[in-house]
């Protein structure tokens, strides 16, 4: 990847790239414009022509690191605007930044712009050209009047702890603050991150920060940018620093529950520490007694602690103006020679094999968000084989992560490799393959994600056997196992999964192996008194898990006067939205208890306190949490999905089955159980008995051993395949721009050759060629040619990116609808997929293809991307559409269901990704009709 060729006729440009949802450069644009620079805001890993300077708000994210490397290659200066204060632990103890041991020493930038002069002193001590500019996003903060009554704001940093031990220590010390403030009768605003409020048992403050600061008379925070924000708001601020680390963040006071680390531990930075201490001393309180004195002082006489810090002596210029001035200065100066910036991607470390056992590696992908049950199952399976070496297999797990935050948390059987989602899928597959080669498996189990299946296919070309795992009975799982159908065997976790796999197996070994879970020696004892205790344990997401239906279950129980409480255990992207909706509900007899994410051992202990485990999903394979609950004697109340539930649950005997999308019926069934505790006890014993029959960990290990033996003892059929050079899930790849296109192209050629192809062409195959590496930029026409080549039996690698761009996929769907006779086409979906595929609308307009508007179930505005937006039925009436194209990958199934009223009107529906399943659904709908 390189910068575009400079166009000297265009205006010089300043490219600003922020991180996350916060605008770190707010107000900077207009000041840069007055310097003669056109401002380009981008989330793309490319640089426009005539870029003179790049400014980024972090140097750790995959996108910003890629752009920094690109700028260095083009000799373009880089300005790094620190997105917060400089803090010792975050800089030198954070596992995210410690992947680069030279983090900030110096930073990979020509100039570092930071919040305070204290930060500039530290950064200059690390070898940086650092200037204190202030942070534009904080520029509007000004002192606010104090409230009439004393009130403390207690807060934590965005990432308050880096491991479980630190988290326990922090919760302990926050608990001490709670005890002190409760005893003294001091009101507290708790603004805690990472769900700490759930462990502390306090209500979380969700107001805007400015409002929270205005309502507080003083602030206690762990080292974070909030210390700066609080002081700018005129609030006396104390730091809670529960870890033995130097206090670089400045405040008015400091409470240390533990002694400070010796400065000899950071000898190379001792001078910077000394200068800070002399510049701005803080009143230090130590131990439990010091906490009480601190709280009393913050309540009774906070001004006695106030230090007039440099941060409070504002410069005459605004922070946006100062930042713009320094960025403009960078644009006029020759870029400094920055140290080479390591790639974000890295393979796992090698782990020696057991000499007397064959190695099996489970492979799964994670983006750092809360994990589902599959990783837990992988770890349990590895532990079972370690406990039973006589089975003959050494089982490990390899996590493929796109997040530097993801860690293995000390599991000795788990390895992790890191891939860059902004790099090409080719580079990611190379990293995963290198990791697998370091682990030296004889057999790989590919769990969900295209990168896992493609890497497994590459390993198969080297003689490693592959088992495809079907963990969920849904379109996405089917599409993966169908798209990468060169596996040597497959496993499903339910009868439904097994039956579908048999349609794809062509005689290869197939097995149905339910998850093994811990089993209690006897079912739990059911209490006759107290509320009916329900629990949902799992990912807090709407897609598949339908967690919003849990509101309606509680509403239904409350309407029936049932004394019940629902416990939520887990985390997920939709939890905050769920809790915000829950706060608006008023009930009399039912309650919600939120525990947040918990460890597997904690959950195992927790089940013994629960009467009913509830699931309201629209799809499962064989729910691990359901089996875990049944293994402890908890009654399952689950939706009647196509896979798993019917095999484990006999309705009315050992659990409850209710239709998907019928939360009131679920509530009615649960109300019956609440009124008949003896029946709950009977069902509890039956549930436990059923789990012991089908979900023993040791039995699962034996069943897996039989499958491993069958796969390894069956002759490997080696036919040429391009599966190692194909990815099918575009939502996993953020632009897929290659940093080493020539290396990626060469890798594709070698991989196709290892996969059995004998004559590989570039771009245009000849009569004797059996494979082709396509280096042409993908368009609908190019993809048509690729489809034709594959239909003729040629192997194809679309290098260097491997992937059909989303705009091309959408354009081809629109064209297909037009070729089918549609004269009024709407695109259904107004999410990220449609935004990323926006070029398809321009393509259609240039060719006169009639796209009349966009469809969304709940339009947020009347227009998007130059098109009107309407609901499905409004679109049918307003635009008289005769075709709709679904623009989503992750949510395609939902959109298909949402388009059902349109199909009833005879409007054709085009699915872009799971076309086979869409065709099957059309057939089913026709039969029903």
Does residue 139 carry a pLDDT above 70? Answer: yes
Alpha-helical (H) ranges within 540-599 are: 549-559, 575-583
Given this model, what pLDDT does residue 577 score?
85
More reliable by pLDDT, 206 or 725? 725
The Cα–Cα gap between 143 and 233 comes to 4
For residue 312, which of 240, 239, 237, 209 has the smallest C-alpha distance?
237
Given this model, what pLDDT does residue 164 score?
74
**Which one-letter DSSP state was computed for residue 343?**
P
Give pLDDT tens digits for 577-635.
898 888 888 899 999 998 888 888 889 899 999 999 999 998 899 999 999 999 999 99
Helix or strand or coil: residue 853? strand
Does residue 229 carry a pLDDT above 80? Answer: yes
Residues in the chain: 929
Does residue 3 carry a pLDDT above 70? Answer: no
Q: Say if residues 644 and 620 touch (Cβ distance below 8 Å).
A: yes
Q: What is the mean pLDDT of residues 679-703?
A: 96
Given this model, what pLDDT does residue 10 score?
66
Given this model, what pLDDT does residue 516 score?
94
More reliable by pLDDT, 200 or 649? 649
Alpha-helical (H) ranges within 696-779 are: 697-713, 741-754
Does residue 791 carry a pLDDT above 90? Answer: yes
Q: Say if residues 615 and 540 touch (Cβ distance below 8 Å).
A: no
**Which one-letter DSSP state was computed for residue 393?**
E
**Which one-letter DSSP state was computed for residue 203?**
P
Which of the four pLDDT bands, split at 50, 70 and 90, describes residue 745?
Answer: very high
Which of the four pLDDT bands, split at 50, 70 and 90, describes residue 191?
Answer: very high
User: Residues near 349 by Cβ (< 8 Å), separated by ≥ 6?
Assistant: 415, 438
Does residue 270 carry a pLDDT above 90? Answer: no
The Cα–Cα gap between 133 and 610 comes to 55
Among 118-122, 198-202, 604-608, 687-691, the least confident range: 198-202
Does residue 264 carry a pLDDT above 80? Answer: no
Given this model, what pLDDT does residue 363 score?
95
Among 129-143, 197-211, 442-456, the least confident range: 197-211
Does residue 158 carry a pLDDT above 80? Answer: yes
Given this model, what pLDDT does residue 625 score?
93
More reliable by pLDDT, 738 or 662? 662
Which of the four pLDDT bands, split at 50, 70 and 90, describes residue 747?
Answer: very high
Given this model, what pLDDT does residue 338 score?
59
Given this model, what pLDDT does residue 407 score?
53
Give pLDDT tens digits for 533-557.
999 999 898 888 999 999 999 999 9
Given this model, what pLDDT does residue 845 score?
92
Given this model, what pLDDT does residue 263 score?
42
Given this model, what pLDDT does residue 100 score?
67
Given this model, what pLDDT does residue 64 score?
84
Does residue 4 carry a pLDDT above 70? Answer: no
Give pLDDT tens digits for 849-893.
999 999 998 887 788 888 999 999 899 989 999 999 999 877 787
Q: What is the mean pLDDT of residues 782-794?
A: 94
Given this model, what pLDDT does residue 499 score?
95
The Cα–Cα gap between 211 and 188 comes to 14
What stretches of 72-142 adopt beta strand conformation (E)? 78-81, 111-114, 130-132
Task: Kindly tell me the number of DSSP H helices and DSSP E strands found in the chain.
Answer: 33, 34
How does strand 867-870 pair with strand 863-864? antiparallel
Q: What is the mean pLDDT of residues 519-524?
A: 94
Of the chain, the percentage scoring pLDDT greater than 90 comes to 58
**Which one-letter DSSP state was computed for residue 337?**
-
Give pLDDT tens digits for 367-400.
766 556 788 888 899 999 999 999 999 999 999 9
Given this model, what pLDDT does residue 306 score?
87
Report the b/e string of 592-625 with b at 16+ CB within 10 A.
Answer: bebbbbbeeeebbebbeebbbbbbbbbbbbbbbb
What stretches of 813-879 adopt beta strand conformation (E)? 825-828, 851-855, 863-864, 867-870
The Cα diameter of the chain in Å comes to 89
Report the b/e string of 633-642 with b at 16+ CB within 10 A.
Answer: bbbbbbbebb
Report the b/e string of 206-221 with b at 16+ CB within 10 A.
Answer: eeebeebbbebbbbbb
């Amino acid at each position: 990847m390189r910068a575009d060729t400079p166009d000297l006729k265009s205006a010089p440009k300043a490219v600003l790239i922020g991180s996350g949802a916060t605008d770190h450069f707010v107000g900077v644009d207009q000041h840069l414009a007055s310097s003669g620079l056109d401002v380009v805001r981008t989330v793309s890993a490319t640089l426009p022509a005539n870029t003179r300077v790049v400014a980024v708000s972090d140097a750790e994210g995959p996108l910003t690191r890629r752009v920094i490397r690109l700028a260095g290659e083009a000799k373009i200066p880089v300005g790094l605007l620190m997105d917060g204060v400089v803090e010792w632990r975050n800089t030198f103890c954070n596992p995210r930044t410690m992947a680069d041991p030279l983090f900030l020493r110096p930073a990979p930038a020509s100039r570092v712009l930071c919040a305070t002069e204290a930060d500039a002193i530290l950064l200059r001590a690390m070898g940086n050209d650092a200037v204190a500019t202030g942070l534009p996003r904080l520029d509007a903060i000004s002192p606010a009047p104090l409230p009439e009554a004393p009130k403390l704001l207690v807060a934590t940093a965005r990432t308050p702890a880096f491991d479980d031990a630190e988290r326990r220590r922090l919760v302990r010390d926050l608990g001490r603050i709670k005890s002190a403030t409760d005893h003294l009768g001091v009101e507290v605003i708790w603004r805690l991150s990472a769900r700490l409020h759930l462990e502390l048992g306090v209500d979380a403050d969700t107001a805007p920060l400015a409002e929270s600061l205005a309502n507080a008379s003083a602030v206690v925070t762990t080292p974070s940018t909030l210390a700066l924000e609080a002081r700018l708001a005129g609030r006396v601020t104390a730091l809670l620093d529960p870890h033995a680390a130097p206090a670089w963040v400045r405040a008015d006071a400091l409470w240390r529950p533990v002694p400070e680390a010796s400065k000899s531990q950071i000898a190379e930075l001792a001078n910077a520490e000394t200068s800070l201490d002399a510049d701005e001393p803080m009143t230090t309180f130590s131990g439990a007694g010091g906490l009480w004195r601190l709280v009393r002082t913050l309540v009774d006489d906070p001004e006695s602690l106030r230090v007039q810090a440099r941060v409070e002596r504002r410069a005459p210029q605004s922070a946006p103006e100062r930042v713009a001035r320094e960025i403009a200065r960078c644009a006029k100066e020759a870029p400094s020679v920055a140290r080479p910036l390591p790639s974000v991607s890295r393979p796992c470390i090698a782990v020696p094999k057991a000499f007397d056992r064959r190695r099996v590696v489970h492979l799964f992908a994670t983006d750092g968000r809360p994990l589902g049950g599959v990783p837990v199952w992988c770890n349990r399976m590895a532990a079972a084989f370690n406990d039973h070496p006589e089975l003959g297999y050494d089982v490990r797990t390899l996590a493929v992560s796109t997040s530097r935050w993801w860690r293995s948390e000390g599991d000795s059987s788990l390895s992790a490799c890191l891939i860059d989602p902004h790099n090409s899928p080719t580079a990611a597959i190379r990293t995963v393959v290198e990791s697998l080669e370091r682990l030296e498996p004889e057999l790989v189990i590919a769990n969900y994600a295209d990168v896992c299946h493609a890497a497994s296919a590459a390993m198969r070309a080297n003689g490693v056997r592959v088992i495809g795992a079907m963990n969920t009975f849904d379109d996405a799982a089917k599409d993966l196992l169908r798209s990468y159908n060169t596996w040597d065997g497959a496993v499903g976790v339910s009868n439904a999964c097994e039956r579908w796999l048999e349609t794809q197996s062509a005689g290869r070994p197939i097995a149905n192996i339910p998850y093994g879970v811990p089993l209690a020696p006897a079912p739990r004892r059911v209490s006759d008194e107290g509320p009916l205790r329900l629990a949902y344990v799992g990912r807090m997401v709407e897609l598949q898990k339908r967690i919003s239906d849990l509101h309606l279950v509680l509403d239904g129980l409350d309407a029936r006067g049932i004394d019940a409480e629902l416990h939520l255990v887990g985390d997920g992207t939709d939890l905050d939205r769920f809790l915000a909706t829950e706060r608006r509900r008023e009930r009399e007899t039912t309650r919600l208890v939120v525990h947040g994410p918990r460890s597997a051992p904690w959950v195992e202990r927790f089940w013994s306190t629960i009467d009913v485990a509830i699931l309201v999903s629209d799809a499962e394979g064989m729910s691990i949490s359901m089996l875990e609950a049944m293994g402890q004697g908890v009654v399952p109340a689950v939706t009647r999905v196509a896979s798993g539930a019917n095999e484990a649950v006999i309705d009315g005997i050992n659990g409850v089955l209710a239709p998907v999308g019928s939360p009131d019926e679920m509530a009615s069934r649960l109300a019956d159980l609440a009124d008949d505790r003896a029946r709950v006890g009977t069902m509890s014993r039956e549930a436990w008995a059923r789990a012991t029959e089908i979900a023993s960990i040791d039995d699962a290990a034996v069943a897996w051993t039989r499958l491993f033996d069958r796969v390894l003892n069956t002759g490997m059929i080696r036919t040429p395949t391009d599966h190692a050079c194909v990815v099918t899930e575009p939502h996993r790849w953020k632009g897929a721009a290659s940093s080493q296109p020539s290396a990626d192209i060469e890798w594709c050629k070698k991989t196709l050759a290892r996969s059995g192809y004998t004559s590989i062409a570039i771009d245009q195959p000849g009569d004797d060629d059996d494979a082709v590496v396509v280096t042409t930029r993908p368009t609908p026409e190019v993809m048509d040619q690729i489809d034709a080549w594959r239909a003729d039996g040629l192997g194809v690698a679309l290098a260097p990116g491997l992937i059909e761009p989303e705009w091309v996929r959408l354009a081809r769907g629109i064209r297909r609808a037009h070729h089918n006779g549609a004269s009024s086409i709407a695109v259904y979906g107004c999410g990220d997929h449609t935004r990323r595929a926006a070029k398809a609308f321009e393509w259609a307009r240039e060719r006169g293809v009639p796209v009349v508007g966009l469809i969304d179930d709940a339009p947020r505005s009347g227009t998007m991307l130059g098109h009107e937006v309407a609901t499905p039925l409004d679109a049918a009436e307003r635009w008289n559409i005769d075709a709709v194209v679904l623009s989503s990958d992750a949510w395609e199934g939902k959109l298909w269901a949402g388009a059902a009223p349109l199909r009833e009107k005879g409007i054709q529906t085009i699915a872009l990704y799971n076309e086979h399943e869409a065709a099957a659904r059309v057939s089913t709908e026709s039969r029903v009709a």
